[in-house]
Amino acid sequence: MPQVLVSLLGVVAILATPGPTNTLLAAAGATSAGAPPWRLVGAELAGYLVSIALLRTLGAPLAAAIPFAVPTVKLALAAYLAALGAALWRHDAGSTDPGPITPRRLFVATLFNPKAAVFAFALFPDSVERPQIALWVAGFALAVALCGGGWLLLGRRAGRDAGTLVARLVPRLASVVLVGFGLALAATTLAKVV
């Protein structure tokens, strides 16, 4: 099996697992009044691609040159996730306002998603041949579209089928999950630094 295909199977497995971005997508699906907010999947893809590009070009040299760079970024991400979770908790799920789950916020959450580091350093093709890289990026984009769309539809289904109560509970649960991710990231980062 070609390396690119094996790598993309790993991408799908990682994208399908719960995390901050998927939590936001599910909450957006559960709380959207009209059609699912498909533009969020584009924001997710952009966040991952920018993050992978930055990590591949600047990440490793920066981490080697400045020892506190990685812990600082992790603590900033932890604070961002906690703040986003708090904003999601305060948002009224019955309002037509998109609340805290906007394409920009999803892009930033995805930009700093730890999964991007796995994609950049473990699953990105080692070969620098353009056809392989182009194939991988196309497959990656398809995987993000399918998995991200799946999380949106899962949230939408949970919110619509279970009624108003669940539609209000999904963002609250997502809020708790995001704050939990933020606190866990901060705790593990501080434990390594201190």
Look up residue 48 and give its amino acid. Answer: Y
What's the rounded Cα separation, in Å, for the pair 85 and 24? 9
- Residues (pLDDT < 70) of the chain are 1, 91-100, 127-128, 161-168, 170
CB-based burial label for 23 (10 Å; 0-12, 13-18, 19+): buried
Q: Is 95 helix (H, G, I), strand (E, B) or coil?
A: coil
What's the rounded Cα separation, in Å, for the pair 99 and 172? 13
Count how many domains the chain has. Answer: 1
Query: Tell me, what's the pLDDT at 45?
Result: 97
Query: Tell me, what's the pLDDT at 87?
Result: 78
Q: Contact, 154 vs 37, CB < 8 A?
A: no
Query: Tell me, what's the pLDDT at 148?
Result: 96
What's the rounded Cα separation, in Å, for the pair 125 and 34? 39
Query: Tell me, what's the pLDDT at 39?
Result: 94
This prediction has a pTM of: 0.75
Domain limits for position 174: 3-193
Give the long-range contacts of residues 40-43, CB within 8 A, separation 24 or more: 40/101, 40/103, 40/106, 40/148, 40/152, 41/144, 41/145, 41/148, 41/149, 41/152, 42/103, 43/103, 43/104, 43/106, 43/107, 43/110
Query: Tell me, what's the pLDDT at 168?
Result: 66
Quick: pLDDT tens for 63-87: 788 888 878 877 887 888 788 788 7
Query: Tell me, what's the pLDDT at 94?
Result: 54
Query: Tell me, what's the pLDDT at 46?
Result: 97
Rg (CA), the chain: 17
Query: Tell me, what's the pLDDT at 165?
Result: 62
Query: Tell me, what's the pLDDT at 31?
Result: 78
Q: Contact, 183 vs 79, CB < 8 A?
A: no
Tokens 């963002």 belong to which residue? 171
Q: Contact, 47 vs 111, CB < 8 A?
A: yes
The two counts, helices (H) then strands (E), for the chain are 9, 0
Phi-psi region of 84 (alpha: psi -120 to 50; beta: other; left: phi over 0): alpha
